[in-house]
């Protein structure tokens, strides 16, 4: 498996800028407002050391959700633009447009079992999305292709969820999601080529395309006052298919991936 280095400083700069939003959950596009608005926050999160790991790492993580009007957004690890907007007679809102997304890498130092597999650099994905929303219901589909780190492959992500207020100051959102990965993506993160097998002592493994994970999440937002709020999230993801069968998951990792976070944010 060949892991190419990012060669363009501009790409690396964009990727690091987007990394600042790595802890933020994908938020709803707010009611139409002009100019820049959104929220800036800081929290503590616990997540797997790498995708497929059994051990966890605790990190201080920023929470950034920024919007410009109802068109441009930077939320979570994605930036994009709602360039096509339509509302049906039945009140279904449909938005679509391009997106940029930061893809996390992996360091072989993240776990002793990864020794000899080499590092996987962060990369920048380019793609597009379509989102459907009606009332508290929302569904989303996006496709992302690595453009900065060699042929790191393609993913297709599907999610659906429902959000509602459960108290005067508390709002909850529940989501279900799944991700399909191309063979190039699967082999980058889960495959083991001949060189890696010789360096690590693990058996060679070739991963194919298919569904790589299914998941569920629960997010809570609590209003402290007009400007300040608190948030918490719990996410469970289960690796399936060739991803789950990889030696780095089945051998010394875990199919079950749990991520939690809690923090405070300032809204403007």
The pLDDT of residue 149: 78
The domain in which residue 54 lies consists of 9-267
pLDDT over threshold 90, residue 32: no
Quote the pTM value: 0.85
CB 35 within 8 A of CB 68: yes
pLDDT digits (tens, 9 = 90+) for 110-130: 888 899 999 999 999 999 999
pLDDT over threshold 80, residue 23: no
Identify the band that residue 10 occupies on the pLDDT scale cut at 50, 70 and 90. Answer: very low
Domain-located, residue 4: no
CB 146 within 8 A of CB 125: yes
CB 68 within 8 A of CB 58: no
The pLDDT of residue 13: 39
Q: Kindly state the percentage of the chain with pLDDT values over 90.
A: 80
Structure-token pair, residue 58:
């605790």
pLDDT over threshold 90, residue 172: yes
The pLDDT of residue 113: 85
pLDDT over threshold 80, residue 26: no
How many domains is the chain built from? 1
Query: Closest Cα to residue 49, out of 38, 40, 41, 58?
Result: 58
| Backbone torsion region of residue 71, taken as left when φ is above 0, otherwise alpha when ψ lies between -120 and 50, otherwise beta | alpha
Domain-located, residue 1: no
Q: In the 8-state DSSP scheme, what is residue 24?
A: P
pLDDT digits (tens, 9 = 90+) for 212-236: 999 999 999 999 999 999 999 999 9
pLDDT over threshold 60, residue 107: yes
- Least confident window among 6-15, 74-83, 116-125, 165-174: 6-15
Give me the CATH number covering residue 196: 2.40.230
Average pLDDT on 182-189 reads 96
Cα 85 from Cα 83, distance rounded (Å): 7
Structure-token pair, residue 96:
């679509």
* Cross-strand pairs, 137: 134, 162
Cα 109 from Cα 118, distance rounded (Å): 9
Mean pLDDT of the chain: 88
pLDDT digits (tens, 9 = 90+) for 38-96: 999 999 999 999 999 999 999 999 999 999 999 999 998 899 999 999 999 999 999 99
Structure-token pair, residue 235:
């996410």
The residue length of the chain stands at 268
């Amino acid at each position: 498996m060949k892991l190419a280095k990012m060669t363009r400083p501009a790409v690396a700069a964009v990727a690091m800028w987007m990394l600042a939003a790595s802890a933020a959950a994908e938020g709803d596009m707010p009611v139409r407002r002009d100019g820049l608005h959104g929220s800036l926050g800081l929290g503590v999160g616990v997540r797997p050391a790498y995708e497929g790991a059994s051990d966890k790492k605790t990190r201080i993580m920023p929470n950034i959700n920024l919007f410009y009007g109802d068109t441009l957004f930077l939320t979570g690890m994605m930036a994009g633009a709602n360039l096509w907007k339509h509302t049906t007679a039945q009140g279904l809102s449909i938005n679509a447009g391009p997106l940029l997304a930061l893809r996390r890498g992996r360091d072989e130092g993240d776990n002793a079992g990864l020794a000899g597999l080499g590092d996987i650099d962060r990369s920048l994905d380019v793609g597009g999305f379509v989102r459907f929303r009606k009332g508290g219901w929302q569904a989303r589909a996006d496709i992302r292709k690595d453009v900065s780190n060699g042929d790191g492959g393609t993913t297709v992500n599907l999610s659906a969820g429902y959000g509602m207020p459960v108290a005067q100051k508390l709002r909850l959102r529940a989501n279900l999601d799944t991700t399909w990965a191309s063979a190039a993506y699967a082999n980058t993160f889960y495959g083991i080529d001949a060189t890696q097998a010789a360096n690590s002592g693990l058996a060679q493994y070739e991963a194919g395309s298919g569904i790589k994970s299914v998941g569920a999440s629960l997010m809570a937002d609590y209003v402290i006052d007009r400007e300040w709020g608190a948030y918490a999230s719990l996410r469970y993801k289960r690796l399936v298919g060739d991803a789950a069968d990889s030696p780095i998951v089945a051998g010394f990792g875990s199919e079950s991936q749990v991520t939690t976070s809690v923090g405070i944010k300032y809204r403007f």
